[in-house]
Chain A
Amino acid sequence: MSDNVLFAMEAALNGVTVGIMYSLVALGFVLIFKASGIFNFAQGVMALFAALTLVGLQNGQIPFAPIINAAFGTSIHNFGWNLPSVVAIPLTVLVMIGMAWLIERIVLKHLVNQEPIILFMATIGLAFFLEGLGDIMWGAEVKRLDVGIPQGMSSWVDETTYNLFGYGFFIDTLSLYALGIAAVLVTGLVLFSQYTKQGRALRAVADDHQAALSVGISLRFIWVLTWSIAGIVALVAGIMWGSKSGVQFSLSLIALKALPVLILGGFTSIPGAIVGGLLIGVGEKLFDFLMQPVIGGATENWFAYMLALVFLLFRPQGLFGERIIERV
């Protein structure tokens, strides 16, 4: 095979793994949108907040240390312990569940039945708040996140492809793990929503709020549940992206990468998020590979949106979105 075909294949393969990383972020959006019709702008900040909390717990940081020090003239920073990931991750999950509960109590409860754009705006307020809170709690400096997922070139892929084609493909081990984790996550979510009582309630609410209410499903419980799950998904996304770049403010910007995925896959479809991620990932890597010599690189930011736009012109509700039926 010619070199260029091999290179293109490598780029596409990397697109698959990167696409899965996008999907991990997009999943959180889909979950909340499906259950409550809210486009949750705060999803990216939630990922950042979850990752910050995880690192803070792991390193035994004292939350709000700068404020405490400023107020009482102390100079405390650290509890002086190092929690292993197996303890710190469940603790972070608890924090995210607590946060979901608080969000429902303080914000969503008062905004039942409002228009989508109002709810969207409320999540923006939430995003601002969490952004400030995360920094005050844990500090704004870059933190290293290591939960034991190996990184670096996967030798196995390299050798296998070398034996097959005479050119070793590069795949990051981390993204292979991301593939596995995404698979587990999606299977888990599907099983949960298909085979548990709460899951069925969740689907009922997604289908029709009022009908669900009338058969005795607690809307508020369902909302706490979805936001908790979205919080956990945000934690997973935060861990995967945070392992790559360290935990810092920019982590919250990955939400922008998830938007075209979301739009392409449809706001309401979990498989859509995965397929959309794959399409965007592969598309942008191949486009960059082909067009780089012609128009220069750094096209990824807009290409994803252009791709989504072209798809939408043919399918205005996204690939897997529910069909929009309009009546006068």
Chain B
Amino acid sequence: MLYREAGDFKTSYASDNQTFPIRFDRYAYWVVMAVAFLVLPMVMNDYWANSIVVPFMIYVIAALGLNILIGYTGLLSLGTAAFMAVGAYATFKLTTAFPAMPIYLVFLLSGLVTSAVGVLFGLPSLKIKGFYLAVATLAAQFFLIWLFTRYGWFFNYSSTGQISMPERSMFGVTITGATASSTAVYFTCLIFTVAMAWLARNLTRGQMGRTWMAIRDMDIAAEIIGVNPLIAKLSSFAVSSFFVGVAGALMFGVYLGAVEAGEAFGINKSFLVLFMVIIGGLGSILGSFLGAAFLVVLPVLLKILLVDNLGWPADLARHLEIMIIGALIIVVLIAEPHGMAALWRTIKDKLRLWPFPH
């Protein structure tokens, strides 16, 4: 119906390896981009921008990062929120120390700082595997948060222990702070999300991505055929932490504006991002988007439906909401254990063959 194609006519390596091998998907991609860049900013109100779309995009970046680690390299991490906190605190320290530095550069540098920290906590992965590796990242989670609350240097000795984002602008447009328009915030997040997704896609299908996947599928075998596990694992930690750090920087810089390490970057957030990756689909870029949508957008939609439209008491609605999400997680897993991206793949395959499935 939607897909009209016949046969498999790939003549070059490049066309065989492209991101969207089906022409319809390429069109769909450009349409989505056009909508995101041109249509949405026109029609979206502040509420949609600030409380649904912006957090969604930030979580997408975090989920992409974690997906590189878990989905592509097979290393389990439960310290995502702490790495996000590193990104946030790096942003705060950098931007207060160098107020003139362009804010996008600050976000990227924060990502690099997080990368370095990530590599440090990734070192045990050379020895420890599976659920046991979770401990190394959990140690990072608790230790880093403790560090950020314990030592005043991180929050510039403010008596409140909170860090708050000063106003920064680029090209005359205010990007951070409360006076930043939702359009500026939206475009900042959109640019980063698109760039990061592009980066993730190209890293994972390149040589680096293949070494990661070799490690994931069987590390000893990979080592035998010449993949250096040290470089593969640490590079995966570095890249993943970079993504997560940028997500943390954006979360602090443009979305929340003020955070306290323990509260905004607690273990729950680590779990939340992990859930996104697993529900969305391990080892899938699209999965990161779907997972983030499932766990960020769906609760808000449920809330709007139950409270604002059906008029249920807010607390009852909230309890039902988490029950529904819990049940949906199980339903999705029973329907397709490999996440929503795999579900989509199956649907697409069926659509491509429709109406002649044989």
A223 at the interface (CB under 8 A from B): no
A131 at the interface (CB under 8 A from B): yes
A121 touching B275 in the complex, CB below 8 Å, given contacts A136-B319, A263-B135: yes
CB closest chain-B residue, reference A317: B132
Q: Across the interface, which residues of B come within 8 angstroms of A296, CB to CB?
A: 150
Contact of A110 among B150, B279, B282, B334 (CB under 8 A): B334
Contact status A128-B132, CB under 8 Å:
no
Contact of A302 among B129, B139, B218 (CB under 8 A): B139
Chain A, range 221-273, C-beta contacts under 8 Å to B? 256, 259-260, 263, 267
A312 touching B135 in the complex, CB below 8 Å, given contacts A66-B316, A114-B337, A128-B323: yes
A306 at the interface (CB under 8 A from B): yes
A324 touching B138 in the complex, CB below 8 Å, given contacts A121-B278, A122-B329, A129-B327: no
The answer for the CA separation of A131 and B268 in the assembled complex, in Å, is 14
A301 at the interface (CB under 8 A from B): yes
Interface centre among B129, B320, B333 (most CB of A within 10 A): B333
Q: In the complex, how many residues of chain B place their beta carbon closer than 8 angstroms to a beta carbon of chain A?
A: 45
Q: In the complex, how many residues of chain A place their beta carbon closer than 8 angstroms to a beta carbon of chain B?
A: 53
The answer for the CA separation of A66 and B315 in the assembled complex, in Å, is 10
Q: Across the interface, which residues of B come within 8 angstroms of A309, CB to CB?
A: 124, 135-136, 139
The answer for the CA separation of A60 and B320 in the assembled complex, in Å, is 24
A172 at the interface (CB under 8 A from B): no
CB closest chain-B residue, reference A296: B150
Contact status A260-B135, CB under 8 Å:
yes
Task: Give the Cβ gap from B115 to chain A, nearest Cβ, in Å.
Answer: 21
A3 at the interface (CB under 8 A from B): no
Q: Across the interface, which residues of B come within 8 angstroms of A306, CB to CB?
A: 139, 143
The answer for the CA separation of A326 and B278 in the assembled complex, in Å, is 25
Chain A, range 21-77, C-beta contacts under 8 Å to B? 39, 66-67, 70
The answer for the CA separation of A39 and B218 in the assembled complex, in Å, is 22
The answer for the CA separation of A299 and B145 in the assembled complex, in Å, is 11
A126 touching B330 in the complex, CB below 8 Å, given contacts A136-B316, A136-B319, A309-B124: yes
Chain B, range 51-92, C-beta contacts under 8 Å to A? 76
Task: Give the Cβ gap from B233 to chain A, nearest Cβ, in Å.
Answer: 14
Task: Give the Cβ gap from B192 to chain A, nearest Cβ, in Å.
Answer: 28
The answer for the CA separation of A48 and B335 in the assembled complex, in Å, is 29
Q: Across the interface, which residues of A come within 8 angstroms of B141, CB to CB?
A: 305
The answer for the CA separation of A106 and B333 in the assembled complex, in Å, is 12
Interface string of A286-297 (1 = CB under 8 A from B): 000000000110
Interface string of B304-326 (1 = CB under 8 A from A): 00000000010110011111011
Q: Across the interface, which residues of B come within 8 angstroms of A263, CB to CB?
A: 131-132, 134-135
The answer for the CA separation of A317 and B333 in the assembled complex, in Å, is 28
Contact status B146-A301, CB under 8 Å:
yes
**How many interface contacts (CB-CB < 8 Å) are there between A and B?**
131
Chain A, range 299-328, C-beta contacts under 8 Å to B? 299, 301-302, 305-306, 308-309, 312-313, 316-318, 324, 326-328
Contact of A132 among B139, B278, B322 (CB under 8 A): B322
Q: Across the interface, which residues of B come within 8 angstroms of A328, CB to CB?
A: 218, 220-221, 224
CB closest chain-A residue, reference B327: A129
Q: Across the interface, which residues of A come within 8 angstroms of B135, CB to CB?
A: 259-260, 263, 305, 308-309, 312
Q: Across the interface, which residues of A come within 8 angstroms of B315, CB to CB?
A: 140
A301 touching B142 in the complex, CB below 8 Å, given contacts A124-B271, A132-B323: yes
A217 at the interface (CB under 8 A from B): no
Chain A, range 121-170, C-beta contacts under 8 Å to B? 121-122, 124-133, 135-136, 140
Contact status B139-A125, CB under 8 Å:
no
Task: Give the Cβ gap from B153 to chain A, nearest Cβ, in Å.
Answer: 14
Q: Across the interface, which residues of B come within 8 angstroms of A121, CB to CB?
A: 275, 278-279, 329, 333
Contact of B146 among A126, A256, A302 (CB under 8 A): A302
Contact status A132-B319, CB under 8 Å:
yes
CB closest chain-A residue, reference B78: A259
Q: Across the interface, which residues of B come within 8 angstroms of A308, CB to CB?
A: 135, 139
The answer for the CA separation of A111 and B142 in the assembled complex, in Å, is 32
Q: Across the interface, which residues of B come within 8 angstroms of A115, CB to CB?
A: 337
Chain B, range 271-320, C-beta contacts under 8 Å to A? 271, 275, 278-279, 282, 313, 315-316, 319-320
Task: Give the Cβ gap from B78 to chain A, nearest Cβ, in Å.
Answer: 9
A-B contact pairs, 30 of them (CB 8 A): A66-B316, A70-B313, A106-B330, A111-B334, A114-B337, A115-B337, A117-B76, A121-B279, A124-B275, A128-B322, A130-B326, A131-B322, A135-B319, A136-B319, A140-B315, A259-B134, A263-B132, A298-B146, A301-B146, A305-B135, A305-B141, A306-B143, A308-B139, A309-B124, A309-B136, A309-B139, A313-B128, A326-B220, A327-B220, A328-B221
The 9 closest A-B pairs by CB, nearest first: A128-B326, A125-B329, A129-B326, A302-B142, A132-B323, A305-B139, A302-B143, A125-B330, A132-B322
Task: For the A-B complex with A118-B338, A132-B326, A305-B143 known, give 12 more contacts whose Cβ atoms are closer than 8 Å.
Answer: A70-B313, A111-B333, A117-B76, A118-B333, A121-B278, A129-B323, A129-B327, A131-B326, A305-B138, A312-B124, A312-B128, A312-B136
Q: Name A's B-contacting residues (CB within 8 A).
A: 39, 66-67, 70, 106-107, 110-111, 114-118, 120-122, 124-133, 135-136, 140, 256, 259-260, 263, 267, 295-296, 298-299, 301-302, 305-306, 308-309, 312-313, 316-318, 324, 326-328
